Amino acid sequence: MIKVGIVGANGYTGGELIRLLHKHPEVTIHALASRSQAGRQGWELFPALHGTALGAEPLLNLADPRLYECDLVFLAVPHGVAAKLAPDFLAAGVKVIDLGADFRFKDPALYEAWYKVAHPAPELLAEAVYGLPEINRPAIRGARLVGNPGCYPTGILLGVAPLLVHDLLAAPLIIADGKSGVSGAGRSPRPDLHFAEVTGDFRAYGLPYHRHIPEVEAYAEQLGKKEVKVSFTPHLVPIPRGLFITLHLAGKTGATTAGLTRVFQDFYAEEPMVAVLPESALPHTKAVLGSNRCHLSVRVDERTGQIIVLSALDNLVKGAAGQAIQNMNLLFELPETTGLTALGIWP
Amino acid sequence: MIKVGIVGANGYTGGELIRLLHKHPEVTIHALASRSQAGRQGWELFPALHGTALGAEPLLNLADPRLYECDLVFLAVPHGVAAKLAPDFLAAGVKVIDLGADFRFKDPALYEAWYKVAHPAPELLAEAVYGLPEINRPAIRGARLVGNPGCYPTGILLGVAPLLVHDLLAAPLIIADGKSGVSGAGRSPRPDLHFAEVTGDFRAYGLPYHRHIPEVEAYAEQLGKKEVKVSFTPHLVPIPRGLFITLHLAGKTGATTAGLTRVFQDFYAEEPMVAVLPESALPHTKAVLGSNRCHLSVRVDERTGQIIVLSALDNLVKGAAGQAIQNMNLLFELPETTGLTALGIWP
Amino acid sequence: MIKVGIVGANGYTGGELIRLLHKHPEVTIHALASRSQAGRQGWELFPALHGTALGAEPLLNLADPRLYECDLVFLAVPHGVAAKLAPDFLAAGVKVIDLGADFRFKDPALYEAWYKVAHPAPELLAEAVYGLPEINRPAIRGARLVGNPGCYPTGILLGVAPLLVHDLLAAPLIIADGKSGVSGAGRSPRPDLHFAEVTGDFRAYGLPYHRHIPEVEAYAEQLGKKEVKVSFTPHLVPIPRGLFITLHLAGKTGATTAGLTRVFQDFYAEEPMVAVLPESALPHTKAVLGSNRCHLSVRVDERTGQIIVLSALDNLVKGAAGQAIQNMNLLFELPETTGLTALGIWP
Amino acid sequence: MIKVGIVGANGYTGGELIRLLHKHPEVTIHALASRSQAGRQGWELFPALHGTALGAEPLLNLADPRLYECDLVFLAVPHGVAAKLAPDFLAAGVKVIDLGADFRFKDPALYEAWYKVAHPAPELLAEAVYGLPEINRPAIRGARLVGNPGCYPTGILLGVAPLLVHDLLAAPLIIADGKSGVSGAGRSPRPDLHFAEVTGDFRAYGLPYHRHIPEVEAYAEQLGKKEVKVSFTPHLVPIPRGLFITLHLAGKTGATTAGLTRVFQDFYAEEPMVAVLPESALPHTKAVLGSNRCHLSVRVDERTGQIIVLSALDNLVKGAAGQAIQNMNLLFELPETTGLTALGIWP
């Protein structure tokens, strides 16, 4: 059994790691820690834990030695914090998967330009591996430090990868119209996340310079082997979980829905976590609710030459905790889908 | 007092006409009619009518002579039906505002290409006026037959008009990423509109060839005085009402958020139903819930040269019934905002 | 025109007063004030105010003399605060309607037992009038200080009044199972009111000793002229507004649904704000969304002898701001429904 | 591996059986059948099945011999239909768990009085076992025909059982105020279940004579060994899943919250699927979303002597499909929690 710890077990991503790891057949949850909520019992933070052994245990603080007894820790903490914690874990022989932004970039200057802080551990960036298995699997296998992708970049990169790899775009611009469920904004209460204000509402936020842009650009350029720019507009959807990306792309002459659907199906034929839908279907966020899958469709508007790619996933699973566990499975040479095969909940 | 009738009083648009006209100081609701629900009392269809005189009256059938005693009828019926009803009303001296698609096009061929039926009254198209007051007010004033715009076209055209009129786009393509509340899909029960399937879900539908495309293209070309194509991707949001448009447009060199915000504010300075928000704000659908206003913001992404326009309105008010009443006010030479000044409901 | 001020204009009740008074034909909103948000513009707090004159004005602080120029101020502030503000307003000749708990009780000991603070102005309690027009109209007419009822007490008292007045209960116990929309919990962000936690959830809270109990008991005893106890269990419903009460009461032998429905219809025959529904209908909170009406139904379970009363209202309108305006109309001898006749929004 | 079939695989209960059995380590899903949707592929009905082998298979019709090769069939069909199908399955050696009402009653007269049809197989009622493991486990173990309880009766009986068994009620009346998520009303589209009408709404329905009453009374009397009547008022909550029961009961003198909490904790100490919450917590439906657990709290209102019991479960899991699998585990002598240990999803 792999002994794992979770730092930041009090937030939504931490809670989702608990939910998924609780059912993982090769894992023991060895340590749950929190900077702000140490001492509180699990069920106080996650009422689904009532009546379980895990729910009765208090969260540890970050200095607790149990964390260092783990084989792996997941860091579900704000950017800037993870890079301060990671060196000690690695020095103690504990592998690290960071669910924040600290280890997603090779270039610390890029990180610093967008996140407005000096990187606390730039010396680790060369070693850190970007944890999007569908495009980076071989590098993940041997790693001990993984930067787990952002939720939006996961949805955008999975949606655009087949087109970039096969050089099917007529212009180097990815217009990504993103829609996220509210858990993507974190658990801390804010006036604009009050139930009464979000329910019945739809809005945009944070445009035009969202921090997920450089992450997408960096890996999109790697895939397409040429420069590409991203124009990204995120929106808040009144759903607890779920992430939907609509990509608007200039297609090359002759592109068709049937043709591109085949390209996508071939590209992802062996991928267990990506389903390219039949032409008679379109993605729903709810079809992947609680599951680690990404659903994709592609359409060509022959009147305008535009390619529209639709990508749906659960921001807390394939967009965060599930993907982190997929990476963990790779690190420990388990079958990649171990513990991750649950279907989405419907309705 | 203006005597009005509503045909299709049983649907959501019909109900919204009732709600708004009930408070209109210059209007008497003289006849409520329905093809499918004649004989049922108002409160059976709209429980908000409990305890009102209107709620106790049964809906009339379409042959009822009271309809022909009206000064104006609103037609809230499917496309194809309105054009069959309109000639008799006009012949009887009753003005007509059609909330469907039958009188939105000058060219019957365009209608037939997209709606897949022969137009039942092509001889009326020359006379019919497109009822988007912000771009067509003078023509509406003298009319007796108005084609009320679609909800999406209202949001898109109000969002793109200042850019087209001032020739500020670098390419003749409007990418419109639309998001609509569920009432936009009508009141008839459907498996995919069941509460249990929509709640918690976000999805796209009906792409890439939605019937609102030719309507937008026709009037966008009029505004810009040159050809423009529309790529339109509609989505369903789990809210009862509300429509949000995100326009992705190629800007000309040198465009800035501050500059374009000023262009928009000047363009709409005298418009009572359009608010261009200050730069520190962004639109919410909920801010216009139940009101006849459209809220707009514009942003320039200087990294990519893209212009992003955000447009929010209530699909049943500014996107349907409210706009129809705005047109009615123009037809009868009332102040244009009469009966339409209510604020949105928050929260 | 009546000049009114609102203290606490930043909260949901304050915002609802703005929304309703904005349309009131006999009122000028003269002063909007806030303890915590003074200086912010109206639209920052209520985005529905974008583009309106009111939205552009900054909120005043509580010392602003404009407040004292008003004919009436509405106090939408926490309990304990209103009773400190009221004496100065009254001394300046400004009438006061308090939307909190400070002036709902004749007996300061009762207030102190449930609210755990000394009453700041017990000398005003003799003069203060309980503002539930349907049971206390004559007293309200001549008043200058009104204690506006709580939302739950409004729903419970309107539901039980016909039974108490006609002595139709077999036991002196009102079991009130209450369900409230989230705006009832106020606008301040809290972890348990975060959208992601409330959506999809249903829960009870605050039982068994909610502060609305003594308010109901006091006025129920006045209505029934004998002692009655209340067992009250409130629940939180994932809706922004709306309040629903299910009363479980022991009926006397021979009670029938038809008979009691007639009793209710007679009791409320002249009441413009209460609708007793026909036997074929049941209340919905949404049927009164945004309106000042209360919808009631009564049923007898002949197998058990239980009477079940169902009561629905909008907690921010008939449960707060709308009722306060109904009281204002009475204070100023306007027709009681002035500015309050809007229908509920559907859907 | 146990070969199972599902009849009625197209509805919400059928879909939930698929979701849970798909992860059950001792089960093979051998046959999915539907009366109305035979021939459609799984993913057309449950988009979560995209990309799975199960999703690609068409649903069978009810005559398909594969159904008779199963060890067990689950019947998720309307009442009256199951009792017509069961005899053939039993004759073929296939065990049957019916998720409808046909095998919940020992007395066919009771069934006929409330369901208004003659029972199609009264001869099987003596053999059929009521499948609420927490109160009927020994009888379920040896059975071949199980009547799975209704969702409301599960919540009510688990909530009242400790009080009945220990004779702690002062009066033989159970007032059950029930609140259900919308999936409890089935998947067929209906005007009153349209998203636009349910969202933002709360309402009661079907009172005062709901068909779950005689089911509760029958088993409550068995538990308490004396007559007890149920007054039941169901409500519809705008959530997709979840069931919440508030019981209002007359307590005996001296009852306390602490004392009854201990009684409940002792009563359910060995039950893996029931958690009695600590006194500092209260149930949420969302805490059991997707899980097979029931969460309970009990409170005593010492002012009135009322006992209030709160019971939360997922109507499709512990209220239907999960409980059916719990029964299946008992029938096949597997550990009772096999395949049923997933935590609820939060948020």
Digit-coded pLDDT (tens) for C51-105: 999 999 999 999 999 999 999 999 999 999 999 999 999 999 999 999 999 999 9
What are the chain C neighbours of A198 within 8 Å (beta carbons)?
Answer: 195, 199
Report the CATH architecture of B2-127: 3-Layer(aba) Sandwich (3.40)
Residues 6+ apart with CB under 8 A from B275: B268, B293, B294, B295, B296, C50, C51
| Domain boundaries defined on chain A | 2-127, 152-315
Q: Do A343 and D19 touch (CB under 8 A)?
A: yes
Q: Does B74 touch chain C (CB under 8 A)?
A: no
- The chains found to touch C (3+ Cβ pairs under 8 angstroms) are A, B, D
C246·D233 Cβ contact <8 A: yes
In the numeric block, which tokens belong to residue A45? 């933070």
Residue C194: which of A181, A187, A238 has the nearest Cβ?
A187
Q: Which residues of A are catalytic?
A: 151
Could C237 and D238 be called an inter-chain contact, meaning their C-beta atoms sit closer than 8 Å?
yes
C-beta neighbour count of A127 within 10 angstroms: 11
pLDDT in tens, D197-254: 999 999 999 999 999 999 999 999 999 999 999 999 999 999 999 999 999 999 999 9
* Position C142 pLDDT exceeds 90: no
Q: Report the distance separating Cα C54 and Cα C47, nearest Å.
A: 11
What is each CA distance from D187 to B192, D31, D77, in whole angstroms? 10, 21, 12
A277 contacts on D by Cβ (under 8 Å): 50
Which residue positions in chain D have pLDDT lower than 50? Answer: none
CATH superfamily of A152-315: Dihydrodipicolinate Reductase; domain 2 (3.30.360.10)
> CB A202 to CB B282 under 8 A?
no
- For the segment C213-240, the average pLDDT, to the nearest whole number, is 98
Residue B142's pLDDT is: 86
Q: Which residues contact D91 (CB under 8 A, 6 or more apart)?
A: none
What residue ranges in C26-172 does DSSP mark as E strands? Answer: 27-33, 72-75, 95-98, 129-130, 145-147
D158, D180, D237, D343, best to mutate vs chain A, most A CBs in 10 Å: D343
Q: Tell me whether C199 touches chain A (CB under 8 Å).
A: yes
Q: Which residues of A touch D287 (CB under 8 A)?
A: 47-48, 50
Q: For chain A, what percent of residues have pLDDT higher than 90? A: 100
Residue B46: its chain D contacts at CB < 8 A? none
Tokens of C142: 């001549």
Residue spans of chain B under pLDDT 50: none
Does this model's pTM top 0.95? My answer is yes
Look over chain A and give the mean of its residue pLDDT values, rounded to a whole number: 97
* Closest residue in D to B180 (Cα–Cα): D196
Which residues of chain A make contact with C187, given a CB cutoff of 8 A? 191, 194, 196
Q: How close, in Å, is residue C84 to chain B by CA atoms?
A: 29
Looking at residue D142, its pLDDT comes to 86
Separation CA A98–CA A7 (nearest Å): 10
Is D50 touching B (CB cutoff 8 A)?
A: no
C-alpha distance from residue A146 to each of A103, C3, C344, D8 (Å): 7, 64, 54, 45
Nearest to A311 by CA among A299, A297, A321, A322: A297
Determine the distance in angstroms separating the CA of D186 from the nearest CA of chain B, rounded to an integer: 9
Q: Is the ipTM of this complex over 0.90?
A: yes
Cis peptide before B87 (omega within 30 of 0): no
Q: Is C303 on the interface with D (CB under 8 A)?
A: yes
* Active-site option among C132, C151, C288, C324: C151
Q: How far apart are CA A106 and CA A128, in angstroms?
A: 8
How far apart (Å, rounded) are the C-alpha atoms in residues D127 and D109?
16
Residues of D in contact with C347 (CB under 8 A): 194, 196-197, 199-200
Cβ-Cβ pairs closer than 8 A, B with C, add up to 105
Q: What are phi and psi of A177, to 5 degrees?
A: -100, 105
**Is A210 in the B-facing interface, judged by CB distances under 8 Å?**
no
**Chain A residues 223-262 within an 8 A CB cutoff of chain B:** 229-231, 233, 235, 237-242, 244, 246, 248
Judging contacts by C-beta atoms under 8 Å, the chain C residues touching residue D194 are 347
* CB-based contact B345 C43, cutoff 8 Å: no
Contact criterion met (CB below 8 Å) for C191 and C201? no
Compare C323 and D142 and report the one with higher pLDDT.
C323
Stretch (H or E) spanning A73: strand A72-75
Q: Does B279 touch chain A (CB under 8 A)?
A: no
Residue % of chain D over a pLDDT of 70: 100
CB contact, 8 Å: D325 with chain A?
Answer: no
Q: Is B133 exposed, middle or buried (0-12, 13-18, 19+ CB in 10 A)?
A: buried
What order do you get walking across the sheet with D229-236 strand by strand?
D203-204, D229-236, D173-180, D243-250, D306-313, D294-301, D274-276
Amino acid at residue number A314: D
| Structure token pair of residue A257 | 């829905």
| Closest C-alpha to C181, from C239, C122, C266, C129 | C239
Between helix A151-165 and helix A133-141 the angle, nearest 10°, is: 100
Concerning whether B294 is annotated as a catalytic residue, the answer is no
Instruction: Give the whole-angstrom CA distance, residue C126 versus residue C123.
Output: 7
Q: Which amino acid is at A34?
A: S
Query: Would the CB atoms of B201 and A240 count as touching at under 8 Å?
Result: no
